[in-house]
Amino acid sequence: MTSLVFSNIGELTTNDPTVGDESVMGRIKGAALVIEDGKIVWTGSSANAPAADSEIDVEGSAIIPGFVDSHTHLVFAGERSEEFAARMAGERYDGGGIATTVNATRSASATELRECTQSRLDALRAHGVTTVEMKSGYDLTLEGEVRLCEIAGDFTEETTFLGAHVVPIEFKNRRDDYVALVAGEMLDRCAPLVRWADVFCDQGAFSVDEARLILSRASERGLSLRLHGNQLGHTGGIELAVELDAASVDHCTHVSDLDVEALAGSNTVATLLPGAEFSTKSEYPSGRHLLDAGVTVALATDCNPGTSYVTNMGLIIALAVREMGLSVDEALYAATMGGAKALRRPDIGHLRLGAKADLAILSVSKAAHFAYQPGASLVRAVHIGGKTPGFWG
């Protein structure tokens, strides 16, 4: 057993309400934190820190739980900057551009896909992400979706089958056949490779009934459920997610009072993706309204080439604070504990005793700077299970 103490932490955010300022953030000033075998074993005042095998003096920097990015589409090839520019000039997003990325991804080699996934993952980590969910969904053929699920599995345990992203062009006049393929043979092949199933349940993608069929089959094959819902309209995705006890319903750009009521009495997290409203020039939903109603809220990047080519979780926090009515601490909590709840992972998103030692060491003394310095590079290093994949400053 080897132990490591981080000392001289200017501000430690633990998300443990039993320590420090006893708020939900569990803040300790002038703190130390000890990890042993990849787990948190002690937090408290630096002055009382126990001896350890080695020490990292962080010289007044803040430490936070690593961000949990519970929604990304990292495995893709190509780019769609022209589509982005057209939207900034007034064009509406309708999911049609997904076909462009499908063509580029089908043509890319596995090596190319691995390389660009790795560089996007490096960018997320450089901004403090220690756990990342990754979806398939940019191939939409049987063998191609298997390939994307396998590649995602090389990078994370939080892998998601999204064969039901849109109906691909070759099934344009046979959508029932595509739904049958996804719910049948494609799921049979992909289910053993992933933890989650997701469906884009929205205008121009899949209906509530199609999504219910696909997700029910996925559940029968042992997958846990999540859902893209209510991005483009009041399309019933939120109600379906609650009905199926999905871990999370993501986007929630359009939310009715009934949706809020259903979410508030459920185990389904509302995952907000402000990068998508930013990049599609859409109205931001009110995170404030959801929180006030008692809904559990997560924040994620939704990193994808169409609606949110964002790898900076700090920017997501800043947008949630500026545009969705969250306080700075609520946004930090949603990007850490919220993401962990959206992935139903009790071991991450906080630095309580026994938690996985996933943390980010900042270059500033307070975590509030993520909102205060929007878009800045504020992360010096991340530790994942006590290991350091990289230092940046």
Q: Is position 120 an interface residue for ligand NIG (rule: CB under 6 A)?
A: no
Which of 13, 101, 235, 271 binds ligand NIG (CB under 6 A)? It is: 101
Residue span binding Fe ion (CB under 5 A) among the ranges 41-49, 167-175, 296-304, 368-376: 296-304
Q: Is position 69 an interface residue for Fe ion (rule: CB under 5 A)?
A: no
Q: Is position 235 an interface residue for ligand NIG (rule: CB under 6 A)?
A: no
Contacts of 86 (CB under 8 A, 6+ apart): none
Of 202 and 302, CB closest to Fe ion: 302
Q: Are strands 379-384 and 387-391 parallel, antiparallel or unpaired?
A: antiparallel
Angle between helices 142-153 and 110-126 (to 10 degrees): 40
Nearest to 202 by CA among 210, 213, 194: 210
Residue span binding ligand NIG (CB under 6 A) among the ranges 124-132, 168-176, 208-216, 297-305: 297-305
Q: Is position 98 an interface residue for ligand NIG (rule: CB under 6 A)?
A: yes
First vs last Cα of the chain: how many Å apart? 29
Which option in ligand NIG, Fe ion, none does residue 168 bind, with CB closer than 5 to 8 A by kind? Answer: none
Angle between helices 142-153 and 98-107 (to 10 degrees): 80
Of 168 and 306, CB closest to ligand NIG: 306
Residue span binding Fe ion (CB under 5 A) among the ranges 151-159, 186-194, 253-261, 301-309: 301-309
CB burial of residue 370 (10 Å; 0-12, 13-18, 19+): buried
Which option in ligand NIG, Fe ion, none does residue 370 bind, with CB closer than 5 to 8 A by kind? Answer: none
Which of 69, 302, 330, 358 binds Fe ion (CB under 5 A)? It is: 302
Q: How many CB atoms lie within 10 A of CB 309?
A: 17
Q: What is the CA radius of gyration of the chain?
A: 21
Residues in 66-95 at the binding interface with ligand NIG, rule: CB under 6 A: 73, 95
Q: How far is residue 191's CA from residue 177's CA, in Å, rounded to a whole number? A: 19
Q: Is position 306 an interface residue for ligand NIG (rule: CB under 6 A)?
A: yes
In angstroms, the Cα distances linking 297 to 18, 147, 168 are 21, 32, 32
Which of 26, 65, 229, 305 binds ligand NIG (CB under 6 A)? It is: 305
Q: Is position 228 an interface residue for ligand NIG (rule: CB under 6 A)?
A: yes
Report the interface residues with Fe ion, using CB under 5 A: 302
Report the interface residues with ligand NIG, using CB under 6 A: 73, 95, 97-98, 101, 200, 228, 231, 276, 302, 304-307
